[in-house]
Structure 1
Amino acid sequence: MEDPTEQSLWRPLHELLGRLDAEIGQIYTDRDIKGLKPTYVRELLQLHLKGPMTITELADAIGRTHSALSQKVAAMRTAGLVRTVPGADARSKQVTLTAKSKKLVELLAAEWRATEAALAELEAEVPYPMTQVVRDVEEALARKSFHDRIAEKLQ
């Protein structure tokens, strides 16, 4: 069997996004911030702006699944960025910012705005903006899902 992973249309996009995230992460490293990942910023800002939330509320606020957010909250808790306290009933937990993350929210908001400005600058340099690519792909996927496209190829 030949290695099917030698050719990939997916890998360059995945690697590009990884490089961009790594460069955002370097901003935190430059400031000696331990445990913070670019993928945590949206959740931390939501908690800062809206106050403590259950994992379900936080997942709904950012459009992720409860399972995905539960795992992320556990990682952020380990990094000392959030803590969980019992919620209104025994089944729920409230996610709150720690003192460490409260000190970071102004930097996180500034970094978010700077990242958006850098992306706008980057888009101005390329003939086909990434945001347009995303819109076009979303429209194509609305016509036929990625799942259906893959399943069709497996038949």
Structure 2
Amino acid sequence: MTDLPDPSEEGAWRELRLLQAEMDADIARLYEEAAIPGIRPSFVGELLRLHHRGPMTIGELAASLDRTHSAASQKVAALRAAGLVRTVPGADARSKRVVLTQRAEAIVDRLAAEWRATEATVAELEAEIPYPLQQVVRDLRTALARRSFHDRILDRLREDPAWHSDTH
């Protein structure tokens, strides 16, 4: 136990994470109401990408969505467990390609409709506020291009004796 306050109780972007979780829950509720079981909002990007581009290796899928290979591999495992994708042999014995199942093919047009409706709704919401989130993201990227997040954190860590302690 320590006398210092619990830093995990602070979170500058906590409200943003909560907002996104609430919005994802609303999308999940739409799937439930539409009798599309087993679909999570986090699955849709991969399913749409595979539908539009065809079978891909996990590496190709990861690159196409700007994700790490590890993240894409975990997502494919979850999609496989949900019965939405399967893997088939690739061009050589070492590679496998990810393909949509018949179940996924049967619902992918509905998922694309939800995606379009969600994007239109986000644009509508951004029009209602004085400073759109997309502009915030662009401005943050510009600031981080001047000085990276890593370097900004490292500067703060240099000032914190706990970071330099050898009690690990």
Q: Displacement of 1:66 after TM fit?
A: 1.0
Residues 21-59 of structure 1, C-alpha deviation per residue, up to 9 Å, x if partnerless? Answer: 111111111122222111111111111111111111111
Alignment correspondent of 1:123:
126
Q: Distance in 2 between matches of 1:71 and 1:56?
A: 12
Instruction: Report the more deviating stretch, 1-10 or 115-124.
Output: 1-10
Equivalent of 2:23, from 16, 20, 25?
20
Alignment correspondent of 1:2:
5
TM-score by length of 1: 0.95
Q: Distance in 2 between matches of 1:144 and 1:80?
A: 44
For 1:53, what is the secondary structure of its paired residue? Answer: coil
Alignment correspondent of 2:78:
75
Residues 109-120 of structure 1 mapped to structure 2, 5 A cutoff: 109-120=112-123
Equivalent of 2:59, from 49, 56, 59?
56
Higher-RCO chain (CA-CA 8 Å, sequence separation at least 6):
1
Equivalent of 1:133, from 133, 136, 139?
136
The count of aligned residue pairs is: 155
Alignment correspondent of 1:145:
148
Q: Distance in 1 between matches of 2:62 and 2:10?
A: 35
Structure 1 residue runs of 4 or more that deviate by more than 3 Å after TM superposition: none
**1:98 is matched by which residue type in structure 2?**
T
Could you tell me the percent identity over the aligned residues? Answer: 61
Residues 89-100 of structure 1 mapped to structure 2, 5 A cutoff: 89-100=92-103
> How large is the RMSD of aligned CA atoms in angstroms?
1.1
For 2:32, what is the secondary structure of its paired residue? Answer: helix
Residues 102-151 of structure 1, C-alpha deviation per residue, up to 9 Å, x if partnerless? Answer: 01111111111100110011011111111111111111111122122112
Rg comparison, structure with higher value: 2
